[in-house]
């Protein structure tokens, strides 16, 4: 049986929200994309006030990717990783990944952020599997394929991967790291759950401070 060390990404591995960082990166590449700013920010606001669910808000937010060929998007995501994403990783998170990998854990990153750029994190050689929100492209328009990879959906997607690859997991001796209780379904799945930089504290889950 395998032991897993599961990591959320935004505010767990990274110091900021990665989709917003991608938005800023894309704006810096092409000022014409600023025309999407009202829709993207408006979608975020409507999600905050619970008018949009997270899937609809994210579908609207990512309209700034419209009209980019898939082959060109891949090159842009490589540049995004090199110039931005790799620069906002917590050192403590990378150290923990290396430590748990050395101890025999398989390293899984499971996030609601899109796989289109999360897959660049395979450049961290210790990472074994990345599971994120999937995007589809139809006529150069990007939207979420299936469900937003958050909460219970993370557990569902993880179980699908394990079943497809005939992997048995020793969850009692596995780890999960997240900045948010929205990941409670995964935190409760493992024997070693941790909250990262969680300011409210928690009476059952240990809180770690990462920089």
Distances (CA, A) of 211 to 11, 24, 37, 91, 116: 10, 22, 30, 6, 26
Which band of pLDDT confidence, cut at 50, 70 and 90, is reported for residue 181?
Answer: very high
pLDDT at 127 over 90: yes
Say if residue 204 is exposed, middle or buried (CB neighbours under 10 Å; 0-12, 13-18, 19+).
exposed
pLDDT at 5 over 60: yes
| pLDDT value of position 78 | 95
User: Could you tell me the strand order of the sheet in which 175-178 lies?
Assistant: 141-145, 127-138, 106-114, 4-7, 175-178, 192-196, 206-208
- Distance between CA atoms of 11 and 204, rounded to whole angstroms? 20
Question: What percent of the chain lies above the pLDDT cut of 70?
Answer: 86
pLDDT, tens digit, for every residue of 95-118?
A: 999 999 999 999 999 999 999 999
| pLDDT, the chain, mean | 88
Q: Where are the beta strands (DSSP E) in the chain?
A: 4-7, 106-114, 127-138, 141-145, 175-178, 192-196, 206-208
- Distance between CA atoms of 118 and 132, rounded to whole angstroms? 7
| pLDDT value of position 141 | 78
Least confident of 65-69, 146-150, 175-179: 65-69
Quick check: helix, strand or coil at residue 24?
A: helix
Least confident of 26-35, 77-86, 134-143, 146-155: 26-35
- Nearest in space to 145 (alpha carbons), one of 172, 119, 102, 116: 116
What residues make up the domain containing 179?
Answer: 4-208
| pLDDT value of position 28 | 86
Tell the residue number behind the tokens 């897993």, with chain if given: 4
Average pLDDT in the 28-51 region?
Answer: 62
Average pLDDT in the 180-185 region?
Answer: 94
Q: Are the beta carbons of 17 and 202 closer than 8 angstroms?
A: no
| pLDDT value of position 204 | 87
Q: Are the beta carbons of 113 and 130 closer than 8 angstroms?
A: no
Q: What is the pTM of this model?
A: 0.90
- Distance between CA atoms of 61 and 143, rounded to whole angstroms? 10
Q: How many domains in the chain? A: 1
CA 89-183-129 angle, to 5 degrees, is 55
- Chain centre to alpha carbon of residue 2: 22
CATH code of residue 18: 3.40.50.1000
């Amino acid at each position: 049986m395998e032991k897993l060390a599961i990591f959320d990404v935004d505010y767990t591995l990274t110091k900021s929200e990665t989709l917003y960082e991608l938005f800023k990166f894309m704006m810096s590449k092409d000022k014409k994309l600023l025309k999407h700013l009202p829709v993207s920010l408006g979608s975020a606001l409507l999600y905050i006030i619970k008018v949009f669910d997270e899937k609809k808000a994210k579908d609207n937010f990512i309209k700034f990717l419209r009209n980019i060929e898939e082959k060109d998007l891949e090159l842009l995501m490589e540049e995004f990783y090199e110039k931005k994403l790799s620069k906002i990783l917590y050192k403590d998170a990378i150290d923990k990944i290396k430590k748990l990998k050395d101890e025999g854990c398989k390293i899984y990153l499971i996030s609601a952020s899109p796989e289109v750029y999360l897959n660049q994190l395979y450049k961290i050689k210790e990472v074994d599997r990345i599971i994120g929100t999937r995007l589809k492209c139809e006529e150069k328009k990007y939207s979420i394929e299936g469900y937003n990879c958050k909460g219970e959906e993370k557990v569902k997607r993880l179980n699908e991967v394990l079943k497809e690859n005939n992997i048995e997991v020793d969850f009692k001796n596995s780890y999960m790291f997240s900045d948010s209780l929205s990941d409670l379904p995964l935190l409760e799945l493992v024997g070693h759950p941790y909250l990262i930089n969680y300011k409210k504290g928690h009476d059952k889950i240990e809180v770690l401070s990462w920089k």
